[in-house]
A and B are shown apart, each in its own frame.
Chain A
Amino acid sequence: MIPALAPPRSVYVHVPFCRHRCGYCDFSLLAGRDDLFERYFLAMACELKRVPLPLALDTLYLGGGTPSHLGPAGLRRLFNLLHGPLVPVGTAEITMEANPSDVTGPLAALAKGFGVTRFSLGAQSLDAATLRSLDRDHSPDDVRQATATLLGAGLSVSVDLLIAAPGQSLAAVEQDLEAVIALGVQHVSVYCLTWEKGTQFDALRAQGILSVADESIERAMFEATIDRLEAAGFEHYEVSNFARPGFRCRHNEAYWDCRPWEAFGPGAARYDGRERITNHRSTTGWMTRVLEGQDFTGDRDAMTPEEAARERVVVGLRRRDGLDREEFRAASGLALDTIAGAAIVAWVADGLATDDGQRVRLTREGLLLSDALWQRVLTGRG
């Protein structure tokens, strides 16, 4: 049985601009091309026409890039474009990513005026040396000020933290964690630095100038993160995400529930419940194609119900709540054990997962090694 397609209730909007490109970043964005804002707005207005009816939304997420880099005028312009086709319901979660140094009282007020409920701050660290090594242009104080401003304006705040930065010690990570906890924010996302191909960091690594942290040290950093944030009252609810009770990111939860969502902008991916379609990744390519009426889609990932169910196992198990057999069957139309029964039994035997007959969860060990589990699930072999 193929579940009927529901209309999406979440929307992602990609804002592909930053002041400069950080050495580790491989996102779809243009650095220092503020001259293209206008063309971007035109293209966005155009792509939004894809949606025939106004969409009622539970969540809206402005990511990037750095949406705050658009500045007050630019943000006003963008929100005005979105309102109309997109109609967030009263309780909707509207998140906007921001660079700490862009956050000011007026910006917070303006965002709030457009319905924004939540800011995600690209802090990365609260240590000056680490920030420098990460190529960031803000200071620890910028982060403290930005959070204070946003919290003061009654907004919910999430902070991104990066660990295993080049040369960073375990002690430095622990200090960063304390500093983040002290900010009093509702949500923290912690990412181990990934060395993406084509980034400046990756090139420096190849030249032997930067070195990748030892796997054991990375593990220790990650475990310290989980321990420390949990002790401070955060729930670890997905591999990289921690929230005070009631403050999980509802938008991201829509992804991990495999609910349908819409997305606009270069490199943005949407999902209708059967197929994930990713827009053309290059910003200029996307703009040109949209404005000239050409096809601007890039990759398409069409899934059979079984493939979709396999994907659901993976994204579901990356959440600490794991998968509930009944919910799984109701959502996917397939039994969890048909899809991954043998694997689950093996994981439980190896101490990588627990299974109470109803719900399957990865153990911490399982979560830390989880990439090694997915091949079996995704290919259905073994």
Chain B
Amino acid sequence: MSIDSAHIRNFSIIAHIDHGKSTLADRLLERTGTVEKRQLKEQMLDDMELERQRGITIKARAVRMGYHYKGELYELNLIDTPGHVDFHYEVSRSLACCEGAVLLVDAFQGVEAQTVANAYAAINQNLTIVPVVNKIDLVHARVDEVLAEMEQSLAIDAAEVVLTSGKTGLGVDELLAAIIERVPAPTGDPNGVLRAMIFDSHYDSYRGAITYVRLVDGTIKRGQKVRFLETGTTHEVLEIGQFVPQRRACEELVAGQVGYLVCNIKDVKQVHIGDTVICPGDTIAAPLPGYKRPQRMVYCGLYPSEGENFEELRDSLEKLSINDPSFDYSPESSEALGFGFRCGFLGLLHMEIIQQRLEKEADLDLVQTAPNVTYQILKTDGTVLEITNPQDVPDSGQIDEFRQPIVRTNFLVPVEHIGPVMQLSTDRRGTYLKTEYLSPTRAMLTFDLPLADVIYDLHDKLKSVTRGYGTMDYELIGYMPADLVRLDILVGGKNVDALSIICDRRDADRRGRSIVKKLRSEIDRHMFEIALQAAIGTKVIARETISAMRKNVTAKCYGGDISRKKKLWAKQKEGKKRMKSIGSVDIPQKAFMAVLDTGVDRA
């Protein structure tokens, strides 16, 4: 039942969030008879709960659809891509498995930042673009203008654009025809030396790791042995198959096809996205290009509120990481917080997802330190240190160069908001690169910005200065030297290591001031006065005081009051959750996030 590659089409749908990708994908599944209408529980492809809540697709998924076109049966593999910038690398690996990409643009919203970012990613991989203007049923659809924007920003010929509505199903047949006519069939030799690209994986509690592959050359048969080139491990293939959209086992997959492998792998960490699957002993098989180790961009410390829960936290992190190889953790200790873990994430969204899962799945009270990006330090002895925790910054005497990650950032904004966006970027020490006009009313601004200044709140700020119309996207371009310092925070005269941050020396005063001010509002009064200080080395640059509690005594405690009052007194216990006592000062969880307060825009 193997299919010749001339009848295979592998493609992704790429779009800015909310442009209707999931809805349109549902229509394709329906139209091809892959899923019946009533089975379609909302949007099939985003099947993870958290992701659905956030309305974003995080993990790639692949579905095989069979479709008869001009009397012939085609196998269409739709490879879904994550929509969020945290998952850039996963997107690039998914695209590497396709020959074409359906570029979806909302008929009202027009071209947005992720439209451009995704389109470039697809063009860079030499994919054939099938441009689509979607949601043309909208009353306010402005199809002509959107066509012009696409032409201007991405050099797309308006004559090639397919008009669709995922809602009504309009244009879906035309789109399927365009995919078959325009997207090239995979090349690759079914009889050649086996090479398959791993583009995703997920964990199944019964079968272990499910590895998603695209066969580039050769054939995989059930029962054979395979080798993962990068990890260097060998496995027996217990099952192979395709997602239709459930798993459906088959006997073999051939060059050009997309499917999955089950190999009795208990730990997803052994399955690296971008790795190449070959036959064991095949010394001539070259790795497929583009492999990168998962790159954690953001780190934070996670500590149990109660020190004794350390082992429980370790178990929960272990469990989570089995499911998500891009998340990383290692034990660390902090003078202030005791024993905990340094955890690495692809980005802030990824961090939030992991955190929510931890909370949901393990009933643990956690204290989380503020996230920071990774830095590099070139030491005077010529070695390079990777810094994932501000505590690890060596003495300034040992630092030759302090480098921070820089991202190239595109903002797509209505022209009347160009000024405020320029301001936002220059406030964050961005380097202006260019402005391109997509239309008389919309422009794309490009800046190089420090990642640290982008991830925390730039997206929110952008939305607020553009009244929701601005969008942004960014991509890491490398590490650049900067005048960075470690800013320490002292509470009651004690340096609280978990509150230290790294920032630009020129921002230190402002950051320091706003952090101690924020802390003052987050930490409750105690029986004694508490000094809050921000310092660089031994030099204090900002100071606030929390004055001592002056009076705190219940006036009435008679017969009818006692039970109720007792509850109030003891209830302070609940407020104690997510608190850490440092010295004799109780610091609530929220205070650890106070260091994210940039102090910008509120002078």
By a beta-carbon cutoff of 8 Å, the part of chain A in contact with chain B is 12, 14, 191-192, 194, 215-216, 218-219, 222, 239-240, 252, 255-256, 261, 263, 267-271, 276, 278, 299, 301, 311, 314-315, 318, 350, 352, 367-372, 374-375, 378-379, 381
Contact = CB atoms under 8 A, between A and B. Distances in A.
Interface in B552-600: 552-560, 562-564, 566, 569-570, 572-573, 576
A378 B569 contact: yes
Contacts of A271: 559
B551 A368 contact: yes
B550 A194 contact: no
Contact of A311 (B549, B550, B566, B572): B566
B549 A372 contact: yes
A301 B554 CA distance: 20
Dominant secondary structure at the A interface: mixed
Contacts of A301: 563, 566
Given A240-B556, A369-B553, A374-B566, 20 more contacts: A192-B551, A215-B551, A218-B551, A219-B550, A222-B551, A255-B557, A256-B557, A267-B560, A268-B560, A278-B560, A278-B563, A311-B566, A315-B557, A370-B552, A371-B552, A371-B553, A375-B570, A375-B573, A378-B566, A379-B573
Interface residues of B, number: 22
A316 B566 CA distance: 13
B527 interface: yes
B133 to A, nearest CB: 51
Contacts of A379: 570, 573
Contacts of B576: 375
Contact of A372 (B552, B558, B573): B552
A174 to B, nearest CB: 17
Contacts of B551: 192, 215-216, 218-219, 222, 368-369
Ordered nearest first, which 5 A-B pairs have the shortest CB separation? Answer: A374-B569, A219-B551, A301-B563, A378-B570, A269-B560
Nearest to A258: B562
A263 B560 contact: yes
Contact of A350 (B527, B559, B560): B527
A276 B566 CA distance: 12
B556 A215 contact: no
A252 B550 contact: no
Given A374-B570, A378-B569, A379-B570, A239 B553 contact: yes
B527 A371 contact: no
A215 B560 contact: no
B552 A368 contact: yes
A372 B551 CA distance: 10
Contacts of B560: 12, 14, 263, 267-269, 278
A299 B556 contact: no
A381 B305 CA distance: 15
A34 to B, nearest CB: 23
A25 B576 CA distance: 30
A307 B562 CA distance: 13
B585 to A, nearest CB: 13
A93 B174 CA distance: 95
Contacts of A369: 527, 549, 551-553
Given A192-B555, A194-B555, A318-B557, A371 B569 contact: yes
